[in-house]
Structure 1
Amino acid sequence: MNLFELGNLSFLATAVASILSVVLLVAISQQLWTLRWSVTRDKDSDLPLPKGSMGWPVVGETLDWLFQGSNFHVTRREKYGSVFKTHLLGKPVIRVTGAENIRKILMGEHSLVCTQWPQSTRIILGPHTLANSVGELHKRKRKILAHAFSHVAFETYLPRLQDVIKREVAKWCSEPGSIDVYAATKALTFRIAVQVLLGLDAPDAQMDYLSKTFEQLTDNLFSLPIDVSFSGLRKGMNARDILHNVIEKMIEEKLQKQWNGYNDAFDYILRSAKENHNDITLQELKETAVELIFAAHATTASASTSLILLLLLHPSVAQKSRGEIESSELGHTGKVGPSYQLPHLTLEKLSRMRYLDCVVKEVLRLFPPVSGGYRTVLKTFELDGFQIPKGWSVMYSIRDTHETAPVYQCPEQFDPERFGPERDEASRGGRFSYVPFGGGVRGCVGKELAQVIIKTLAAELLATADWRMATKKPPRMQTVPVVHPVNGLHVHFNYRHP
């Protein structure tokens, strides 16, 4: 054997040894990582930790979660059961499915659990928001915000809300090409939040810029809590700062102007705070404004997109909904084209659309915009024979619960009739079999407004427009950070011909 061959063998042996060392190091690191979380179990409880995997050191299973979407939870639920452990976004998490399990978590707020958004979300939204408040502070803020989400406030918002929707639908119908519905509904719900809820006006160019900036904020709400250049957290913080600066100028201009006869959410909030002898700082107003936009933006756009997609896939449901609108004396007025309009709506008129209400509920059951909610465990408790240890995070799954609740007949099918008076499946299954807006003291304060927005958009579209898919197949749906179509939902809109 010559020196060249000996050298090759030596190099090969060194390479193999290096690879084996790396593999061994990785294996040991993963074992230590798993052990690190095993020792955090509550020693005072005889119950075991839930089954599951903690993934890789530091990152856990975050990358799998981001890339696999809903399949991540489905495969692990099938492997480990309705209660399993994992590690996401820098925290150990126990994921929970099932109405009874969810009931225990949501009704255990302040005793067993407390609200816990991912650290990145808390940092970006800020400390003065309702989402980041706990205890008495949360109760006080919720009481103040309740005035902005009352029926009296909705009646005030509705004419302006319908006008904003009417203008956007007109743009969609006037576009010669296809519309990306998800992008369009995000722009629409952002405009609704800014113009209807905040009562703030801005030129179209600035509104588009702010909408894209806000999208950058929401895209990075659920990111690793690492504050370095080009990180998701830093991008989200930069977007927030831009929005705060613009909103501050808008608020100052608004407070200097005379009242224009329109009460927006800010007016109700400021009046309620004054009645309750609470002062609100400018920083609180800015964070509240961003939170209001957040509450009305991505989730409502997600549900609106799902609604349009499901009506496309189920034309008989669209036709029945359209027939209800026409029979309830809410049919179109005017001619084909921009004057082909739905009469002005009221809450009473919307309440008459019972079947459309079932359609919206079924959309939210099949495609709940948010897949679940996070809580921090304050006191070790039991679920399905496992301990849920103090200090860990627990995430209740809305989507999985809707899919697996035994009360629903053929849960994979889009069937609005399940919410009709003859079947009313959700009511028979108990209040926690249907939780698109969460529940308990942390239930979504804006859930009724979201349904008013979605129902108004549906009524306006059904009465005045026809639409068809621009692609051969419906898009695949992604679930992070909210349910939305991968690569958009591309649709052609046209005015209806009577």
Structure 2
Amino acid sequence: MTLCVTLSLQVFAKVFSHEALESYLPKIQLVIQESLRVWSSNPEPINVYRESQRLSFTMAVRVLLGFRVSEEEMRHLFSTFQDFVDNLFSLPIDLPFSGYRKGIRARDTLQKSIEKAIREKPLCSQGKDYSDALDILMESAKENGTELTMQELKESTIELIFAAFATTASASTSLIMQLLRHPTVLERLREELRARGLLHNGCLMPGELRLDNIVSLKYLDCVIKEVLRLFTPVSGAYRTAMQTFELDGVQIPKGWSVMYSIRDTHDTSAVFKDVDAFDPDRFSEERGEDKEGRFHYLPFGGGVRSCLGKQLATLFLRILAIELASTSRFELATRQFPRVVTVPVVHPVDGLKVKFYGLDSNQNEIMAKSEELLGATV
């Protein structure tokens, strides 16, 4: 039984509510800060897509699920999850060394590690200052007079990680690539942070990053929207026709599966001018190209079936952009920008090789806070 069947939409509303996002925020920021510190300490260029996958995986495990695992355990979990994802769409041929067999083995290993983390979780929850997604799922099930089995918990956990993994890594990579391509956009982000009192003498003011002032950063919102318009991580989604209808003279019978294309919608919509240009100002209050009609801009799908985690995803991207603008120097490590492919999600063919340089002077403070708030072994 999957998470979507087991648990109601009301439960997910709690997981991604304003209050929940507010409590996740400082933990997400620390995970991002620690990752950028590691990237900048590497003498060689990093593979941004690969490291963004590691970053989004770490965020899901340590923040969304509240697991306290060592760095060694995290590396093992990430490697196993990668094997699971890489073989997810293998042909169902159960032979030695087949992708299917590798995927099954990775799934079993992953579930064993997750079960260990779940069983240890109550021992680590004393003094926690927030309820993570797994806490909310378990508490909501109890409120409804049921209790999730260990198997349901493991499957729910894997689904939450999966939901926060590939698409977030794709969007994070696209964000970094566009900030590299458009240094004037990066400088305007810095100007907005300075104007809002969040950036002083090149440093992000400690303790000032809250959900309300992040939402107030209008140009940042435009940048994230434009990244998701031009580089939507997934191409589209499926829906089932609830009743027979007609579209452009073609009848679609009730019960048929229908696929809609997000990328084609963004590319062909008449509301967007010069669709191939990276132009965050198209989402400004003055222009508001996305306000000219429904379903022209839908990076997370549309209607009541839109992505439930879209607020968490955009919050993550906003914090990443803020940290990149305020604490990092980075440059392309190749002569040209790589070609972008769209399968299974949007990503550069070479992963995007980038050299990161030193962060601010608060590295020791970042590491200490990480250990305190996330229980990480860094």
Kindly report the root-mean-square deviation, in angstroms, between the aligned alpha carbons of the 2 structures: 2.2
Q: Which amino acid aligns with 1:206?
A: E
Q: How far did residue 237 of structure 1 move?
A: 2.8
- The answer as to 2:167 corresponding to 1:299 is yes
> Once the 2 structures are TM-superposed, how far is the Cα of residue 177 of structure 1 from its aligned partner?
1.4
Cα shift at 1:326: 1.5
Contact 1:372/1:399 (8 A) holds in 2 = yes
Give the partner amino acid of 2:3: T
**Identity percentage of aligned residues:** 52
**Distance across 1 between alignment mates of 2:12 and 2:210:** 22
Deviation, structure 1 residue 227: 4.5
1:49-76 Cα offsets, whole Å, 9 max, x none, are xxxxxxxxxxxxxxxxxxxxxxxxxxxx
Helix, strand or coil: the match of 1:202?
A: coil
Deviation at 1:228, TM superposition (A): 4.4
Do 1:332 and 1:343's aligned partners in 2 also have CA atoms closer than 8 Å?
A: no
CA 1:258–1:199: 2 relative to 1, 3 Å: closer
Match of 2:158 among 279, 284, 290: 290
Distance 1:342 1:230, change over 3 A: farther
| C-alpha separation in 2, matches of 1:219 and 1:482 | 12
Q: Residues 178-189 of structure 1 correspond to what in structure 2 (within 5 A)?
A: 178-189=45-56
The equivalent of 1:369 in structure 2 is: 233
Gaps of 5+ in 1: 1-126
Matched, 1:156 2:23: yes
Aligned AA for 1:359? V
Distance in 2 separating the partners of 1:426 and 1:222:
35
Structure 2 CA distance for aligned equivalents of residues 396 and 152 of structure 1: 33
1:495 Cα deviation (Å)?
3.1
> 2:350 matched to 1:476?
no
| Contact 1:467–1:492, Cα closer than 8 Å, also in 2 | yes
Quote how far apart the aligned CAs of 1:277 are.
2.6
Equivalent runs, 1:27-426 vs 2, <5 Å: 127-130=1-4, 133=5, 140-262=7-129, 263-332=131-200, 341-344=204-207, 345-377=209-241, 380-389=244-253, 393-426=257-290
CA distance in 1, matches of 2:321, 2:257: 37
Which residue is equivalent to 2:316? 453
Q: How far has the Cα of 1:158 moved from its partner?
A: 1.0
Deviations 1:23-42 (A, max 9, x none): xxxxxxxxxxxxxxxxxxxx
One-letter amino acid of the structure 1 residue matched with residue 197 of structure 2: E
SS in 1 for 2:3: coil
Task: String of CA shifts for 1:102-136, please: whole Å, max 9, x gaps.
Answer: xxxxxxxxxxxxxxxxxxxxxxxxx3222xx3xxx
Q: Describe the superposition over 1:196-241 as per-residue Cα deviations: whole angstroms up to 9, x where unpaired.
A: 0111021212211211221222223344454544444443332222
Show CA shifts across 1:258-277 (max 9, x none): 52323211112222222233
Distance 1:365 1:299 in 2: 13
Matched residue type, 1:427: K
Structure 2 residues without counterparts, runs of 5 or longer = 362-378
Structure 1 residues 291-335: Cα deviation after superposition (integer angstroms, max 9, x where no partner) = 1111111111100000000111111111101111111111157xx
For the 8 Å contact 1:217–1:236, the answer to whether it is kept is: yes
Q: Contact 1:342–1:463 at 8 Å: present in 2 too?
A: no
User: Post-superposition shift, 1:369?
Assistant: 0.7
- Equivalent position to 1:489, from 339, 352, 361: 352
Deviation at residue 496 of structure 1 after TM alignment: 6.5
Higher relative contact order (CA 8 A, sep 6+): 2
Q: TM-score, normalised to structure 1's length?
A: 0.68
Work out which of the two has the higher radius of gyration on C-alpha atoms and give 1 or 2: 1
The range that moved more, 180-189 or 272-281, is 272-281
Give the conservation status (yes or no) of the 8 Å contact 2:68–2:124. no
State the SS of the aligned residue for 1:414.
coil
CA distance in 2, matches of 1:220, 1:378: 33
For residue 466 of structure 1, report the CA deviation from its aligned partner: 1.4
Residue deviations 1:68-101 (CA, integer Å, cap 9, x gap): xxxxxxxxxxxxxxxxxxxxxxxxxxxxxxxxxx
- Alignment partner of 1:441 is 2:315: no
Structure 2 CA distance for partners of 1:164 and 1:374, relative to 1, 3 Å: same
CA distance 1:392–1:219, change in 2 (3 Å): farther
Cα distance 1:321–1:153, how it changes in 2: closer, same or farther (>3 A)?
same
Give the letter for the 1:168 counterpart: S
Q: 1:232–1:359: structure 2 CA closer, same or farther, 3 Å change rule?
A: same
Conserved in 2, the CA contact under 8 Å of 1:331 and 1:343?
no
Distance in 1 (alpha carbons) for counterparts of 2:216 and 2:206: 14
Query: Contact 1:342–1:460 at 8 Å: present in 2 too?
Result: no
SS at match of 1:311: helix
Q: Which amino acid aligns with 1:437?
A: F
Alpha-carbon distance in 1 for matches of 2:289, 2:104? 43
- Identify which range, 451-460 or 254-263, moves more after superposition: 254-263
| Cα pair distance change 1:435/1:235, threshold 3 Å | farther
Residues 1:208 and 1:327: Cα distance change in structure 2 (over 3 Å): same
